Amino acid sequence: MKKLTIKFALIFATLCILILAGCSDILLPEGQIEEAKQGLLITVTSEDQTSRTLYPSADFTKYVLSFENTDGSATYAEKTITGTTQAFISDLPNGVWKITAKGYVITNSKEYEAAQGSNTITISSGSLQNLGIEIKASQTGTDGYFSYSVSFPSTVGIDSARLYLQNYGSSSSYYSSFDLLSMKNATFSLSPGYYLMNIALDNNLQTVWRTEIVHIYANMETKADYSFSVADFNDLITLSGTVSAKINGTPLQEFAIRVYDDDNYSNQIAYKWFYEAETTWSIKIPLFDTPKALYFGISYNLELVKIEQSVTVSNQDKTGINLTANFSTIALGDKAIM
């Protein structure tokens, strides 16, 4: 009985404080919102995040709602949401309102505005209304942060381990290579945008790859955490065949074969350089539990020739994959894509 009395007193005191403060957007429990006769329930959501893509950690510390009456006939004060993604507004005046939600994150011990979005709604008295606002982070302006941490077993004898990062779908130039044997984790700033990340672990017998598209947003941190196991080096299949790579009819002395798991040629799962105008090739990749269509390309400098034909593989070696590419120009002075 004593515990019940204390709990009731706390609830009563909280309500009194809200009433005295003139608070009209109390976060009602879901059942009470459904019973309300009028008001606006605002729900903040963040953009969908797809697989094979690394996004910033969307751990928002708070959301700030601002209200703009489109005809200027009324005003409404900003509201801050913490600990939830919803706010119930009971006294927003009738009219057309543009409501903006801003999401905040903590990066390097500081709180930043990191994402925002808006939606418009017509408020009418005597009705219970819902409004969803999707917020998106900014891909321009202030730098974001990229953090990586890569671990792998010592028993497989890794003698080369690197993480490659370069611009993806951008006219700006960025390329870096990190030696994972000497620096298995790091954090650094990057301009907002899209990047292609490749991790390559090699023990002279096998090369294990991991490829991701990395999204960097202003003031937010994107993390790449990977832990490779012995099984990653054992469960491999070999792709092989013939290759013909020429420039104006002359065999190229060096080129790269690239393997993708999508017909947009965006998710690279493996690549290998070949030298001295080789005519046969082979690459090891992780096996698939179910049949998977793979696509191939041959690159030289910054040019990529797509092989417009897929090959379906599963858990067995695949031979007889014959690739042909003819380059008509050479991008002089450009460095090869890694």
Contact status, residue 152 vs residue 201, Cβ threshold 8 Å: yes
Q: Rounded to whole angstroms, how far apart are CA atoms 170 and 195?
A: 9
Q: pLDDT digit string (tens) for 192-228?
A: 888 989 999 988 777 888 888 898 888 888 999 999 9
The residue ranges of the chain whose pLDDT is under 70 are: 1-37, 47-52, 169-172, 329-338
Strands 292-300 and 53-54: unpaired
- What pLDDT is recorded for position 2? 35
| Paired strand residues for 275 | 254
CATH code of the domain containing 303: 2.60.40.1120
Q: pLDDT digit string (tens) for 31-67?
A: 455 445 678 999 998 765 555 578 887 778 899 999 9
H/E stretch holding 227 = strand 221-227
Number of domains in the chain: 3
Contact status, residue 101 vs residue 45, Cβ threshold 8 Å: no
Residues 62, 80: one domain? yes
Per DSSP, the residues of 12-74 read HHHHHHHHHTT-------HHHHHH-SSEEEEEEEE----TTEE-B----SEEEEEEEETTSS-
Residues 146, 226: one domain? yes
Per DSSP, the residues of 252-289 read PSEEEEEEESSTTS--EEEEEEEESS-SEEEEEEE--S
Residues 254, 331: one domain? yes
**Residue 186 located in a structural domain:** yes
Q: Which of 216, 234, 252 is the last residue of a domain?
A: 234
Residue 333: count of CB within 10 angstroms of its CB? 7
Q: Which of 103, 137, 171 is the last residue of a domain?
A: 137
**Residue 17 located in a structural domain:** no
As given in the structure block, the two tokens for residue 265 are 């040629």
Residues 258, 296: one domain? yes
Residues 242, 230: one domain? no
Q: Which of 121, 137, 153 is the last residue of a domain?
A: 137
* Residue 255, phi-psi category: left (phi > 0), alpha (psi -120 to 50), beta (remainder): beta
pTM exceeding 0.85: no
Q: CA end-to-end span of the chain, whole Å?
A: 70
Residues 246, 333: one domain? yes
- What pLDDT is recorded for position 157? 84
Per-residue CA distances from 165 to 96, 148, 177, 216 (Å):
46, 11, 6, 12
**Residue 91 located in a structural domain:** yes
Q: Rounded to whole angstroms, how far apart are CA atoms 279 and 327?
A: 16
**Residue 79 located in a structural domain:** yes
Strands in 144-151's sheet, in edge-to-edge order, are 185-190, 144-151, 221-227
Residues 211, 281: one domain? no
**Residue 292 located in a structural domain:** yes
Q: Rounded to whole angstroms, how far apart are CA atoms 228 and 238?
A: 19
- What pLDDT is recorded for position 328? 76
- What pLDDT is recorded for position 161? 94
As given in the structure block, the two tokens for residue 316 are 């067995």
- What pLDDT is recorded for position 329? 62
**Residue 6 located in a structural domain:** no
**Residue 183 located in a structural domain:** yes
Residues 224, 253: one domain? no
CATH code of the domain containing 130: 2.60.40.2580
**Residue 188 located in a structural domain:** yes
Residues 84, 127: one domain? yes
Residues 170, 121: one domain? no
| Residue found under tokens 């030298």 | 275
What's the domain range around 74?
24-137
